[in-house]
Structure 1
Amino acid sequence: AERIRAAVDLARVQGTLRAERDRGRTILDTIAEGCMLLDRDWTVLQMNPAGLRIAHMDPAGFIGRNHWDVWPEAIDSDAGRMYRRVMRDRVAGTAEYRQRMPDGVEIWCEVRAYPTPDGGLVSFFRDITERKAAEDKLRAADRRKDEFLAMLAHELRNPLAPISAAADLLRIGRLDEARVRQSSAIIGRQARHMTGLIDDLLDVSRVTRGLVTLARAPVAARAIVDEAIEQVRPMFEARRQHLAVGIGDPDALVLGDKPRLVQVLANLLNNASKYTQEDRRIDVAATVDDARGRLLLTVHDEGIGMEPELTGHVFDLFTQGERSVDRAQGGLGLGLALVKNLVELHGGTVACTSPGLGQGSTFEVALPLMEGVARLAPAADGAGAGGTVDGTRRPLRVLVVDDNVDAAATLGMLLEACGYLVDVEHDSHRALERARHQRPDVALLDIGLPDMDGNELARRLRADAQTGAIVLVAVTGYGQEQDRRAAFEAGFDHHFVKPVDMDELAALLARIET
């Protein structure tokens, strides 16, 4: 009975050991990580199926062989040094290892090694090639972001220098009329340049976050080309560049947002002009690809060109070619990223090709043609509103409300110079009382007012019978689409983003006056 009991206990223990061994083998065979077992002499004893898949090897090629004979390239690697350290010090270690596979493909592996009780070690490894590629992309994006921020600081400082100098000249006050006009023109020109930079930043932000809504309507190819050329013509004339225009089918129609499509082509033309030397030629063409039902807008320049590897990334955000230290061309490099996003919103594609440095570049936008719609010549745009104050009538009374004293004062002086009666307030409550007593025709209100913001002031003016008829115009630095919606919901009739385009404001006041 004693012998039978001992035999049963032994069988039970052996069964338990077999079950534990089978569970361990099942775990090793099913885990996604590779596992390799080495003895104290570096002989490869075992490797699980995941390890075989990662190593792209057959067990017959390395089981029973010395690890360093099978993978000699690992001897001087971080992983090899880590293996020897674990074997020597009997302390676990980790390393990353780049390995060239038999088919020539390189992969990255994360390797962890642990000492075993018999003096060998067990190694766990996994393929981290995708993670390393993502890390490389993040580092590249971070580097481009840093370069972009440095470039942005440079581009914003540049116009500040002449603005500051011109302001100092005006402050001195010993200038003749010609010098005053010159200083004023400098300030206005540089302010418009800064406004353009900020508009580019906001445009890219809105488009990339999906906040742009397209106002789709039939647009003719001729309208897109003509208006884009009109926008960039001063730049071409200043650089004495020759523009050749070819429109294969001027009445070909696409369904899109006309201002945005004009912006796309204008950005491409502006980019071509910027990187093309003076007295060179730039071609813009609009042709129809009937086979694919597309309108092709092509811009070809004889400019500096680019390396072939850059053409695949030129539309990425914060990507630019090499620039000289003086950055004579200027700009933030956002135009092409904006082009790509706007074209894709229209269901189209954009591509760039260049034979190489110094050999020019070609950009091609492909937009889907409208189907089943007659091609019509675009209607001529009506003349813009405008005019001056009629001397036979009472000029408009305008209330300017802005807590920025300088901004309010300069806007007030400009309006007075245009012949309007202007009152200026910096506090919302005082502005509300003045509006009730003086009943202005128009109120230009900043949104970011302290205590009571411009939207709340607009709501109170609208709700009061004495001031409800005043034309309310938002003049603000908040230019996002949600800011515009909030302003109109508060009761504003019009919305302008600082710095105000005085031509547009004067046209608006002229329309109100008539």
Structure 2
Amino acid sequence: EADRRKDEFLAMLAHELRNPLAPIATAASLLAMAAHDPARVRQVGAVISRQTAHMTGLIDDLMDVSRVTRGLVSLDLHTGPLSQVIDDAVEQVRSLIDGRGHRLELQLAIGTAAIHGDRKRLVQVLANILGNAARYTPAGGHIVLAARIEHGSAVLEVRDNGIGMAPELLANAFELFHQGKRSADRNQGGLGIGLALVRSLVELHGGSVRAASDGEGRGSSFTVTLPLPDRGAAAPGQAGDGTPQAAAAGTGALRVLVVDDNTDAAELLAMFLGLLGYEVSVEFGAAAGLERARQIMPHVCLLDIGLPMMDGKELARRLRRLPGLERVRLAAMTGYGQPHDKRETDAAGFDAHFVKPVEPDLLAAWLAAVDR
């Protein structure tokens, strides 16, 4: 049974990855054909951005489930407002809910309650459940998000009037790779791993999650219970996560060296940085990057970590040893974003750690700060 479910999952994965690839490939062709039509270019660019974000979400889920099954998920624990977790989760799925014409009703009785946990992961939990409610409820449905404090715990409940769950599906709702029977009218996409991640992340926070449904066609509900900090419900004055907004263009004074063996990625990044006003050089290997650095003496180096022959961390160490480059600013560009990955790049001398696909606004903000 486990092997059968894994085979189904692999087939599902191939299907789900092809879905965003198809419009991206079409968009690439359209860009070449409509290069002189700014409105069409903007429209096609928006499609690429949406589909890239969708594919990134799929890959992030795959990485998460891999870490969960190997016990490698670590939490970045802080105490902050429970209301902020709810707001962020709703914001993540708002376009999906609105796009399907659902009515989202909030029933919040949490006051200024604080929660001790990994805010990003808690948002992921709630957004996943809300997203499922939106996908598995016919257009124009009703979704309720209720939150209350009960016996020293926060209780978050999501209810919908959607397609519901048969008893056999309900019993396996949190099992890895389980998505129920797929059919033309019920294939809502996704990899069937979201609820397994929800359960694992909730349990890592010392909480619990349960599902309920009166049967097919009668809606579903998911209830998450999380322990509150011992010191009561007053939330400390911690604001947001400090995510920077789009930065102003560079002054042009910075010389930036990009080293990445993915030619397309390197050249597109160089194009983006050039539009920001920076002087950009590109190399596709570590040795070539080291030699170019000797020639141009860059102010900033953006280094792929997974370079062949000599990885980005070793390249960073060697760059730091070049006369005149002892204070060069180094940014790691990598597909790995766990705390231990960040510690490794810190140890190698990097000043910043960006997880691919790098968000342009974050990179632009960092470069603008360096440029000042």
For normalisation by structure 2, the TM-score amounts to 0.93
Residue of structure 2 equivalent to 1:188: 49
Query: Residue 508 and residue 478 in structure 1: after superposition, are their counterparts in 2 closer, same or farther (change >3 A)?
Result: same
Contact 2:259 2:301 in 1 (8 A): yes
> 1:382 Cα deviation (Å)?
7.2
Partner residue of 1:468 out of 315, 319, 326:
326
Query: Residue 266 and residue 174 in structure 1: after superposition, are their counterparts in 2 closer, same or farther (change >3 A)?
Result: closer
Distance 2:166 2:365 in 1: 47
Q: How does 1:199-348 map to 2 (within 5 A)?
A: 199-290=60-151, 293-325=152-184, 328-348=187-207
> 1:479 Cα deviation (Å)?
4.3
3-state SS of 2:234 partner: coil
Residue of structure 2 equivalent to 1:447: 305
* CA distances 1:334-368 after superposition (whole Å, capped 9, x unpaired): 11111000000011110000000111100000111
Letter paired with 2:248: T
Query: Residue 480 and residue 371 in structure 1: after superposition, are their counterparts in 2 closer, same or farther (change >3 A)?
Result: closer
Stretch of structure 1 that moved more, 351-360 or 457-466: 457-466
Distance 2:3 2:241 in 1: 47
Stretch of structure 1 that moved more, 297-306 or 381-390: 381-390
Contact 2:34 2:40 in 1 (8 A): no
Structure whose alpha-carbon radius of gyration is higher: 1
3-state SS of 2:230 partner: coil
Which structure 2 residue ranges, 5 or more long, are not aligned? none
Letter paired with 2:82: A
Distance 2:110 2:312 in 1: 49
Residue of structure 2 equivalent to 1:159: 20
Distance 2:239 2:78 in 1: 15
Letter paired with 2:263: V
Partner residue of 1:420 out of 257, 278, 282:
278
Contact 1:436 1:466 in 2 (8 A): no
Contact 1:220 1:250 in 2 (8 A): no
Letter paired with 2:201: L
> 1:487 Cα deviation (Å)?
2.3
Query: Residue 477 and residue 350 in structure 1: after superposition, are their counterparts in 2 closer, same or farther (change >3 A)?
Result: same
> 1:374 Cα deviation (Å)?
5.2
Q: Given the alignment of the two structures, is residue 495 of structure 1 paired with residue 353 of structure 2, yes or no?
A: yes
3-state SS of 1:264 partner: helix
Which structure 1 residue ranges, 5 or more long, are not aligned? 1-139
3-state SS of 2:310 partner: coil
Letter paired with 1:454: G
* CA distances 1:289-328 after superposition (whole Å, capped 9, x unpaired): 12xx221011111111000222121111001122224765
Residue of structure 1 equivalent to 2:231: 372
Letter paired with 2:188: Q
Query: Residue 327 and residue 438 in structure 1: after superposition, are their counterparts in 2 closer, same or farther (change >3 A)?
Result: farther
3-state SS of 1:156 partner: helix
> 1:205 Cα deviation (Å)?
1.2
* CA distances 1:417-460 after superposition (whole Å, capped 9, x unpaired): 12221111112222112223322221111122222221110111
> 1:378 Cα deviation (Å)?
5.2
Letter paired with 1:317: L
Partner residue of 2:249 out of 389, 411, 416:
389
Distance 2:82 2:331 in 1: 35
3-state SS of 2:189 partner: coil
Q: How does 1:89-100 map to 2 (within 5 A)?
A: none
Distance 1:298 1:210 in 2: 27
* CA distances 1:230-258 after superposition (whole Å, capped 9, x unpaired): 11111112112111111212322332111
Residue of structure 1 equivalent to 2:316: 458
Distance 2:79 2:241 in 1: 18
Contact 2:93 2:131 in 1 (8 A): yes
Distance 2:211 2:79 in 1: 26
Distance 1:198 1:383 in 2: 24
Distance 2:267 2:155 in 1: 49
Letter paired with 1:469: R
Distance 2:288 2:212 in 1: 61
Partner residue of 1:363 out of 222, 227, 245:
222
Residue of structure 2 equivalent to 1:131: none
Distance 2:316 2:286 in 1: 10
